[in-house]
Amino acid sequence: MRVIRVYQDTILATNNNFDLDELSCHHLLKVLRIKSNQELVLFNGDGSAYPAIINNISKNNVNITIINKINKNNELNKHIHLAQALCKGNKMEYVIQKAVELGVSTITPIISEYSDIKLNAEKISKKLQHWQNIIVTACAQCGRNIIPIIHTPIHFNIFCNNQKNNSVKLILDPKAAQHIKNTGNINNTNVIALIGPEGGFSAAEITIAQQNNFASINIGPRVLRTETAGLAVVSMLQIL
């Protein structure tokens, strides 16, 4: 039977007895139709899982008691920062969801020269909240107990100029001579992967990235869709 995992934005501890938040109660009661004495697992992003038991339920309320705390590390042995150019429709949501499942630690949406998307402050705020909800749901599904960070969308040039740390910095470029497999062993390191939009990065953007010590890499002879490329890169980085 599938373990039900529920995110709670609060401090959790063994023997805590409390009512779950309204959104969680609605999902558990109306969608999953849980019963009293049923077990579930809570998480809040602190890195631990908290097995709990349902004490009682009412029409709109679920009361639980935490019975244990399990320190379970499901994270990669490297910190992958996916800098994904904004994509149209629901492609961005798809990339975020699957990137979380694959283990990325940080996601930054990038506004690039060929990103044909206009976002004002109000839209950005709504998008961030929507993306955050996708991340939490993905963590609940895949068993992660640490919530990845998603940053506010940022322009390509500013992003590149801000990356002054000692991370391994990569930019995906189909014309690059170096294949990603030749990046070398990157265990226990920070990796930033820049992925372009549907039209790819411009020549000027590639130059700016290289001036900021990003290495141009390719992942094979085929041209991938932007929503495929980022996930392919993350998958490959896991085994390097």
pLDDT in tens, 130-160: 999 999 999 999 999 999 999 999 999 999 9
**Residue 67 amino acid letter:** I
Percent of the chain with pLDDT over 90: 86
Distance (Å, rounded) from C-alpha 95 to C-alpha 227?
Answer: 6
Burial class (CB in 10 A: 0-12, 13-18, 19+), 11: exposed
Question: Do residues 187 and 237 touch, judged by C-beta distance below 8 A?
Answer: no
Tens digit of pLDDT for each residue in 177-191?
999 999 887 878 899
Burial class (CB in 10 A: 0-12, 13-18, 19+), 82: buried
Contacts of 66 (CB under 8 A, 6+ apart): 12, 13, 14, 15, 16, 17, 42, 50, 51, 52
CATH 3.40.1280.10 applies to domain 79-238: yes
Please count the residues of the chain: 240
The residue extents of the domains of the chain are 5-71, 79-238
Phi, psi (rounded to 5 degrees) for 182? -90, 10
Distance (Å, rounded) from C-alpha 60 to C-alpha 26?
Answer: 7
Distance (Å, rounded) from C-alpha 202 to C-alpha 240?
Answer: 28
Tens digit of pLDDT for each residue in 1-19?
688 999 999 999 999 999 9
pLDDT for residue 46 is more than 80:
yes
Nearest to 195 by CA among 220, 168, 217: 217
pTM of the model: 0.93
CATH class of 5-71: mainly beta
What does the pLDDT average to over 202-213? 96
**The token pair that represents 212 in the structure block:** 């900021």
Q: Could you identify the residue written with the tokens 């019963």? A: 35
**Residue 215 amino acid letter:** A
**The token pair that represents 203 in the structure block:** 């020549």
Distance (Å, rounded) from C-alpha 163 to C-alpha 81?
Answer: 11
Q: State the pLDDT at residue 71.
A: 94
Question: Do residues 100 and 234 touch, judged by C-beta distance below 8 A?
Answer: no
Q: What is the CA radius of gyration of the chain?
A: 20
pLDDT for residue 195 is more than 70:
yes
